[in-house]
Amino acid sequence: MRKFSILIVLSILGSYFPVCKAQKNPEKVIKSIYNNSQHSDKSYEMLRRICKEAPGRLPGTHELEKAIELVKETLIQNGADSVWLIPVISSGWKEVKKPIVQLILGDDKYINLNAVSLGQSVSSAEKGIDAQVVMIDNKSQIDSLGEAGLKGKIVFFNLKMQERRDYGKMVWQRVQGSSLVAEYGAIGVIIRSLTTKYDDVPHTGVMRYADNTKQIPAVALSWQAADSFEINLQKNPDLKVHLEVFCDNPGLINTNNVVGEIKGSKYPNDIFLLTGHLDAWFNTEGANDDGGGVAQIIDVIRIFKELKIRPKHTIRIMPYIDEEQFNSGIVQYAASIADDKQTHLIEIEVDNGIGVPYGFSIQADSSVFTKQVKWRKLLEPYQIDMLRFSNSYAESWPLYQKNKIILGHLLCEDVHYFDYHHSANDVFESVDKTNLQSGSAALATFIYLLDKMDVIDNSKRKPEEIKAQMSR
């Protein structure tokens, strides 16, 4: 009889404190993380609100400020121990009106092509530009054409992405194309969008004007518009184009990164940082890039709090601004923590779209991550055990460059990423809810294991890295 009542008491306690009991057993905690994540609509609802209430979240817009408020509110609702804003100074560039691109066929006949302004582009002269076109599909053509071939012309950069990996090889046509041809006297630039999607939706992205080079207007055409352009040019090499671009750059503006954290119970000054960018281009809801990433990192706090997982280290979540143009949100954060009393053990940046997650890339020597056999095994049942250690990209990333903080990424399936990227295709409806939730769970699991097993051994890092991190 006594035994029986003890059993009843134990089972009642068990149902009241399921996670406290499970916390000793990582398998059970991870199971509860996945269970919680897959039964919660909160990150999906958060994403819907960011996309529908605050599309086109560039610095200087009402939409970005609205998104900052939404994120702040959600972090508070999710139970973050503290939530605050970090002021950031950023660029207020904007597209005022959709550009006009017309192929002039003569006798008042023309074809309108669907285009979008490139980020940071200047406007055209008030009446626009009418000029002949030079098509370029290879960087070396620029120097061989020179001033004789380019002066007074509009240049059509026509490099075609065939697969996701082409982006890295071709992005120069958008970023540097204008300056490269302005040097030889070109007066405008039209590029084929950097996309893998054959449709009539143009994709924007940032461009840069080199110092001491004339700033000429630049736009991107949809894939289908670029095809039409190419065909018409082949029929008539003397074809003229009319180009009008309407942009404004009011200069610097003040805005904020948002931060929310759970204080570590044992090492409050040691931080695991999760980042995703809140800004999105003017022509998009920014669901995959990167509203979804923001929704996922915010959800990590909710999962930890709902499951009453008390981390030993501090978990800091930072949706930041202006990744798309100058990365000022991260750059200024990197500067602000330089003399900090705290140590950032790792930054995990979540900005690869919302595909099926399958692991993590980590920009560090593998030996820095101890007990790997033990904790990698725990990732296997959830198919997130692919770990890629390397140092190949971190050099250009502000928190690594300045503070030598290890950079990690959530890896997910991304073959269709450039169908959406920087375009009107990147809407809430394009995000798969299960993938979104699995990403939150993968992140929460990874952070839980790093925290629980004290995985990162900072003493095994390169001397200069340790110095940069330990200068407190």
Which residues contact Zn ion by CB under 5 A?
289-290, 351
Our CA angle for 165, 402, 72, nearest 5°, is 80
Judge whether 248 and 60 are in contact, CB under 8 Å: no
* Nearest distance, CB of residue 257 and Zn ion, angstroms: 15
* Nearest distance, CB of residue 32 and Zn ion, angstroms: 31
Distance between CA atoms of 352 and 386, rounded to whole angstroms?
A: 15
* Nearest distance, CB of residue 290 and Zn ion, angstroms: 4
Residue closer to Zn ion by CB (options 227, 351) is: 351
Residue closer to Zn ion by CB (options 244, 289) is: 289
Strands (E), 249-354: 252-262, 267-277, 313-320, 343-349
* Nearest distance, CB of residue 287 and Zn ion, angstroms: 11
* Nearest distance, CB of residue 289 and Zn ion, angstroms: 4
Judge whether 76 and 83 are in contact, CB under 8 Å: yes
Token pair listed for 448: 């839980």
* Nearest distance, CB of residue 419 and Zn ion, angstroms: 15
Strands (E), 181-251: 188-192, 218-221, 240-248
Distance between CA atoms of 458 and 415, rounded to whole angstroms?
A: 35
Residue 304 parent element (H or E): helix 292-306
Residues forming a β-bridge with 82: 261
Residue closer to Zn ion by CB (options 289, 451) is: 289
Through-space distance between the first and last CA atoms of the chain, rounded to whole angstroms = 61
Distance between CA atoms of 472 and 469, rounded to whole angstroms?
A: 8
Residue closer to Zn ion by CB (options 153, 277) is: 277
Backbone dihedral angles phi then psi of residue 306, each to the nearest 5 degrees: -65, -35
DSSP at 423: B
Residue closer to Zn ion by CB (options 81, 351) is: 351
Distance between CA atoms of 72 and 280, rounded to whole angstroms?
A: 17
Judge whether 290 and 337 are in contact, CB under 8 Å: no
Residue 438 parent element (H or E): helix 433-452
The order of strands in the sheet holding 188-192 is 109-113, 94-106, 240-248, 129-136, 154-157, 188-192, 218-221, 115-117
* Nearest distance, CB of residue 338 and Zn ion, angstroms: 25
* Nearest distance, CB of residue 425 and Zn ion, angstroms: 14
Our CA angle for 437, 380, 273, nearest 5°, is 55
Residue closer to Zn ion by CB (options 17, 393) is: 393
Helix axes 26-38, 372-379, angle to 10 degrees: 30
Residue closer to Zn ion by CB (options 128, 353) is: 353
* Nearest distance, CB of residue 288 and Zn ion, angstroms: 8
Residue closer to Zn ion by CB (options 22, 220) is: 220
Residue closer to Zn ion by CB (options 202, 205) is: 205
Residue closer to Zn ion by CB (options 33, 287) is: 287
Per DSSP, the three-state class of 344 is strand
Judge whether 101 and 219 are in contact, CB under 8 Å: yes
Q: State the Cα torsion 39-43-45-50 to the nearest 10°.
A: -170
Residue closer to Zn ion by CB (options 60, 319) is: 319
* Nearest distance, CB of residue 279 and Zn ion, angstroms: 9
Residue closer to Zn ion by CB (options 95, 322) is: 322
DSSP at 394: G
Distance between CA atoms of 4 and 296, rounded to whole angstroms?
A: 44
* Nearest distance, CB of residue 449 and Zn ion, angstroms: 26
* Nearest distance, CB of residue 324 and Zn ion, angstroms: 7
Residue 407 parent element (H or E): strand 406-412
Judge whether 207 and 177 are in contact, CB under 8 Å: yes
